Structure 1
Amino acid sequence: MSGHLVLRKPGGARWVIHPPRDPYGDGYVFTVATELHEDGMTASTVANVEGVFVHPHVTRLPSFVEALAADWQGWNGIRTWRSVERELALDARHDGRGYVSLGVTLRASGVDLDDTAWSARAVFVLEAGEEMTRLAADLSHFLGT
């Protein structure tokens, strides 16, 4: 797959996801290079994400966003998703008025036992119905569900 997936917000901030790679060729874990750009900050990392063959209790990134889109009428609290080694994390809040604040956090790749690795975060506000549904479909197509 060529190209990349980009989520933009007014003012130029963007979250970029590069095509997934299957380093072991087995479909269980993919690596995804990803970047955040906002207000002069650029952060990038490589995240290990679940592949198409995962355990039933594991939620893949596209499924997480699909569930957010399906609950377009709202939910209480914060919903979160993390990549295998926490290099990529999403948190979502519904404002009760039709919008979702989707926080995207990148962290340094590799083991971080003492929780001291760098991190960068940007928040994207999306319309709970149409925009979240489009993002879910784009992620599903791009990450190959």
Structure 2
Amino acid sequence: MSLFEVSAEWSELVVRSPTTTATYVRLFDWARVDEHEITLAVEVVADGLRARLDSVSVSVWDRAGDLTEFLEGLAADFRGWEGERSWVTDRLVLTATFHSGGHVQLSWGLRFAEDSWECSVTTTLEAGEHMSRVASDVRSFLHQG
């Protein structure tokens, strides 16, 4: 099972930890709202957990900035950093921490506003090549069409 799975025409993108392939994040159902906004569905899966948001909006107007730029920044800092770095929208939170051995833990959090409920799963990736590939694949997925 590969770390990244991309199906035809970028209909979905799956990010897995190489060591715990049962834990993953799936981005799918991409749609363009207008020239400044897209929506997508996000599913997180881990042992005993499966949660899904059907409509996550990502806009050029988001205070969090561009998700691909956030991931590219993590990839560029492959030698590490102190503390946490976060990318946050109203329904999706991505937190990154650097760990010894050159690994990055990405915590993918989903916020279910109507229930005031949150969940998250963590994928662990190699700081260099794996982070660069995630950043590139997310850019391709989000900027399709």
TM-score over 0.5 (shorter chain): yes
Across the two proteins, how many residue pairs are aligned to each other? 133
Per-residue deviation, 1:20: 2.2
TM-score between the two structures when normalised by the length of structure 1? 0.83
Per-residue deviation, 1:11: 4.3
Give the alignment's Cα RMSD to 1 decimal.
Answer: 2.0
- SS of the residue aligned with 2:32? coil
* Separation in structure 2 between the aligned mates of residue 35 and residue 58 of structure 1, nearest angstrom: 20
Runs of at least 5 residues in structure 1 that lack an aligned partner in the other structure: none
Aligned to 1:35: 43
Q: Structure 1 stretches (4+) deviating beyond 4 angstroms?
A: 55-58
Aligned to 2:129: 130
Aligned to 1:77: 83
The 5 Å alignment of 1:1-145 reads: 1-9=9-17, 10-23=20-33, 25=34, 27-45=35-53, 46-50=55-59, 54=60, 59-83=65-89, 85=90, 87-108=91-112, 117-144=116-143
* Separation in structure 2 between the aligned mates of residue 41 and residue 57 of structure 1, nearest angstrom: 29
* Separation in structure 2 between the aligned mates of residue 56 and residue 2 of structure 1, nearest angstrom: 23
Of Structure 1 and Structure 2, which has the larger fraction of its residues in helix? Answer: 2
Runs of at least 5 residues in structure 2 that lack an aligned partner in the other structure: 1-8
Of Structure 1 and Structure 2, which has the larger fraction of its residues in strand? Answer: 2
TM-score between the two structures when normalised by the length of structure 2? 0.83
Call closer, same or farther: CA 1:107–1:92 in 2, change over 3 Å.
same
Call closer, same or farther: CA 1:19–1:63 in 2, change over 3 Å.
farther
